[in-house]
Chain A
């Protein structure tokens, strides 16, 4: 069965530290890839997405992610985190077979210390 793995369930960083959240998926076909963020008490929001083209995609608030097809990975990065980045981050993979099924990872809770 298809799955999405996020390597860290909890990450604690100090402000200005660099961030990388891992995401791997198991599906051999064409995929669309997403990162969503849920700030405390708020809705899930789309952070960035990859559909085709440049495998390095840039999203809102200085986040970026790189799709490495050979590694089935779509890691999220930010060079310097801020306290306001404290949130839960979800990686999601949609199989681009004409269906609508999107599989989400378990999420990574990021806490940034001021």
Chain B
């Protein structure tokens, strides 16, 4: 069965420090991978998605970047964190396909609560 791992679960970082959050998927190949940020009262905001190794699409311009060095690994990074980067970050994968009848939803990781101080 497929599983998704995300770590760390919680992180407290000072302003200006770097960030690296890692997400890995097991049990499937060539997944579509996503980074979301969940802000209170604002739902889930798509930050980045990737349909393959080295292919990253950014949805929201900001202080963050993403990379996909391996098929089942997705990394969220920042060179210098801002206070506004605090939030709950969720990695997700899906087995999307463009063919008619595809009906896959997303599977989410357990999330990382990031507090920038």
Contacts and interface: CB of A to CB of B under 8 A. Distances in A.
A89 to B, nearest CB: 11
Interface in B32-91: 32, 34, 36, 41-46, 49, 51, 59, 90
Contact of B105 (A49, A52, A103): A49
Nearest to B4: A43
A43 B98 contact: no
A22 interface: no
Interface stretch (A65-73, A78-86, A94-102): A94-102
B43 A102 contact: no
A90 B105 contact: no
B62 to A, nearest CB: 17
Given A43-B110, A100-B32, A100-B96, A107 B43 contact: yes
Contacts of A6: 43
Interface residues of A, number: 25
Nearest to A4: B43
A44 B108 contact: yes
Interface of B: 32, 34, 36, 41-46, 49, 51, 59, 90, 92, 94, 96, 98, 101-103, 105-111
13 contacts: A34-B106, A36-B105, A43-B109, A43-B110, A46-B105, A46-B107, A49-B103, A49-B105, A102-B106, A104-B43, A104-B45, A106-B41, A107-B43
